[in-house]
Structure 1
Amino acid sequence: MFPTVFTGARNAVAFAALVLSLGLAGPLAAEENGDGFLGLDLKGSLGEGRHSRYVPPLTNPIFNETPYITTEARAVYFYHRLPEDFVTDGGDVNLVALQLRLAITERLGFIATKDGYVDFDFDETLPDTDGFANIALGFKYAIISDPVNEGILTAGLRYEIPIHDLDTGGIELQGNGDGFLNPFVTAARAFGDFGLQASFGANFALDPDEDTSILHYSVHADYEVLPGLFPIVELNGFTAFNNADRLTGALGDLDGVDVLNFGSEDRDTTVTIGGGARYRLNDHFQFGLGAETPITDKDDTIFDYRVYFDLVAHF
């Protein structure tokens, strides 16, 4: 297991460093020269006279969206362990992804928050597989932005485009329908060195017979114990509110949580707890390291535990 984690992490770091250095070099240079970029307000929520405290969520990276309007690239790697009680008797998943955010104005931003490459190594039953994850993109708007009190409330909408590039044993792993619509709200408030964030949304399957619709909800707390160092605790939940009928019978309880959607007829609720830390290198770069595991029953879920690493470069 550990060689798999370390190898994946090493590849993720190399990938992240390359993407961040190439993707952010232009905007950062433009900032130093005092120039705009295509007339956009790339600073978004951050910068002089705006919000000064930015600690993005670490776990649940697909749905737990930051309320801040930012221009950034976030490279994400996670190692995911399947439970021994899962239909495959366990296994490993490695994912490398790149999230992009673009501030259009101080309050309006474009987001592309799900993509990447996924490698599945099952212990039994199903053949190993790998491929590209679905792509989710959309917009978010800061309804309330109060830099003086470090408070912000944002609403957004994403569309998840089905790629249909991940399947095994005749099972489509990401969903078998027409994609998903994901309206959400997310908020943050700081109290000195202590920060709170929360998000809530619904991932609506556009083909409800093929894919399961879920509610997702997250709470995040952080505290700056040393300059630039933020220990983090997070709680995430995923609850089906409209089950599909693509997988029935013995497989009808399978729960794909966030990345996967089996279209199960009787998917259960999964609640996870995660922790870790972020370190802010300077005004533009920070990285995070943490882990996450369910506090609900692991029967029929893909989730045993995860280990996360990410690099965030923002304007």
Structure 2
Amino acid sequence: MGDWEGVRLHVVTGKGGTGKTTVASALAIALATGGRKVLLVEVEERQGLAQLFDVAPLEYAEHRIVPAAGGGEVYGLAIDAREAMYEYLGMFYRLGRAGRALDRVGFVDFATTIAPGLRDVLLTGKTYEAVRRRKDNGEYVYDAVVLDAPPTGRVTRFLDVNTAVSSLARVGPIHRQASAITSLVHSPRTVVHVVTVLEEMPVQETVDAIAELRAAKIPVGAVVINQTRTPFLSADDLAVARSGQLNRSAIAESLRAAALPDTDAFVDQLRQEASGHAKRIDLENDARASLEGLGRPVYELPHLTGAIDPTALYEFAELLNGQGAS
């Protein structure tokens, strides 16, 4: 049994550049392991999932994008606010084709401009619909939904937008929809995973985001430390390197054995780089301790050289499963 038994919606956020889309994709594959069916959703209109999985641009329709171990399947969906508006008008106001006709006079742009939160309502609403959708026999269509959400700086506002909407529209279909979405987001069926790297700004944004989510009473999931690196030196050598006292003769001898120049200048440069490496490891360890102090499960994924491809996503999924993600 994994860490998220009973969770239906996994929201993944993180500071830009930390790899949240990569983590969301790997998490979807991990959750689909063992024959489960998972929907992976993006809302930022960047087509990041299509690029990552090397598939055609995703549409406002759910398509199978990759298999998972044990017969599982991952489906993908790119939610477009305009298409979501058409669907919304059709579902709640029975406008049908008239909804698209309204767009000819700029209705959608007008509506989302005068009410900026409306766009987030549409995006979260479509995600909510996918989470709750059932088959004729009563089973859920998807065992889980993974949402590649906006960055940490606005994820709480994005997820909690329906709280404000339901308080403004106190009756009618808008109120009922917003209240239902709010109930899901604040329930144990939802968790928000935060992706970070071991650098000062992303770690601080992670701490701040988790504090905001907790204040809003939105459940926090795991902290995923991405792009971790294994130290080049042993613990004992790091301690010596930190002080800049690595043995010059030993370094020179190793350089000669590798058929590299062993000049004093080169040896000094290597000693300086080793000292910098040791100090960076210290900073990363301090950052890791801060993240572990948040009281949430912590998963780690390694740094890979080169572009992330589908093969890497499967490797990451296996690592996440090994740490309790599914």
Whether these two folds match at TM > 0.5 is no
| TM class by smaller structure | under 0.3
Taking structure 1 as the reference length, the TM-score comes to 0.28
Q: Which of structures 1 and 2 has the bigger CA Rg?
A: 2
Structure holding more strand per residue: 1
